[in-house]
Amino acid sequence: MNMIKSSRFAGKVAIVTGGVSGIGAAITLRLLSEGATVVAFDIAAGAVESFSAIHAGSGLHLQAHVVDVADAEGVQAAVAAVVAEHGRLDIVVPNAGIASPGTAADVSLEGWNAVLGVDLNGVFHTMRFTLPHLVATRGSIVTTASISGLGGDYRLAAYNAAKGAVVNLTRSVAVDFGKQGVRVNAVAPGPALTEGLRQWLEAAPHVRDAYSENIPLGRLAAPEEIASVVAFLASDDASYITGTTIAVDGGLTSWTGQPHVMG
């Protein structure tokens, strides 16, 4: 999918967590293509190095740093460094996320704590340390929730709990900071064809078929389609939108789950 190039975010500084792979990379590149200076945080040092190397010399205003969003002190230091270097912060996308399979009865405690640490605490840490700077610029936060925060999935208790909490944390922060000019929204992606999911579907083609059958648009999202909604919510085009969650799922959450039996 071709990137739209504009100057909509010229002069603005953005942080994207989990910003060098999957949906996060698509968000980073979309904001860059529209003129933003983007600092991507990611825990995977190899991915950070590779992403930086691929885009070196591109003319894009990109930086990428190794940051563990589950580490509050690390996030605080990284955010302070971004503001010290660039003098402002306008857009924050707390996107980093992981999953660990299991029901509430059998998910490992290690897995539960890891998922909540990244998917919920990581969003909280990122918001906590960026909000004072966003108040100064009347900036915007766009969290990456999930349709798994809008309903339950089989064997994803920790992920469902974390993403559901992100949806309501987004509302809470929007309420608290709206009068200070900060808008806070969430995107709730459905299944997106990231490289990780692509590899899994190659090994389990019946899952791809099930997605195609259940999604009204009949296909998975491209990561760039998620990024386009993030860019909209972060922009002045969404100047009167705050506290909302937009499902970007091809209509999946509009379906009741009942079988197609009406001929």
First to last CA, the chain: 36
- Of 224, 223, 220, 194, nearest to 207 (Cα)? 220
- The DSSP secondary structure of 207-218, one letter per residue, reads HHHHHHHHSTTS
pLDDT at 263: 62
Per-residue pLDDT tens listing for the chain (263 residues) = 455 678 999 999 999 999 999 999 999 999 999 999 999 999 999 999 999 999 998 889 999 999 999 999 999 999 999 999 999 999 999 999 999 999 999 999 999 999 999 999 999 999 999 999 999 999 999 999 999 999 999 999 999 999 999 999 999 999 999 999 999 999 999 999 988 888 888 888 888 889 889 999 999 999 999 999 999 999 999 999 999 999 999 999 999 988 877 66
**Angstrom distance (rounded) from CA 161 to CA 154:** 12
DSSP-derived 3-state class of residue 236: helix
pLDDT at 3: 59
Question: In sequence order, which residues have a C-beta less than 8 Å from that of residue 7 and are 6 or more positions away?
Answer: 34, 35
Topology classification of domain 13-190+223-248: Rossmann fold (3.40.50)
Catalytic residue among 154, 159, 211, 240: 159
159 catalytic, yes or no? yes
Q: Are 85 and 131 in contact (CB under 8 A)?
A: no
pLDDT at 61: 96
Core vs surface per residue 155-186: b (16+ CB within 10 A) or e: ebbbbbbbbbbbbebbbebbeebeeeebbbbb
Question: In sequence order, which residues have a C-beta less than 8 Å from that of residue 186 and are 6 or more positions away?
Answer: 142, 143, 144, 145, 166, 167, 170, 244, 245, 246
Domain boundaries defined on the chain: 13-190+223-248
Angle at the Cα of 242 from the Cα atoms of 240 and 244, rounded to 5 degrees: 125
pLDDT at 262: 67
**Angstrom distance (rounded) from CA 103 to CA 218:** 29
pLDDT at 1: 47
Q: Provide the token pair at 164.
A: 């559901």
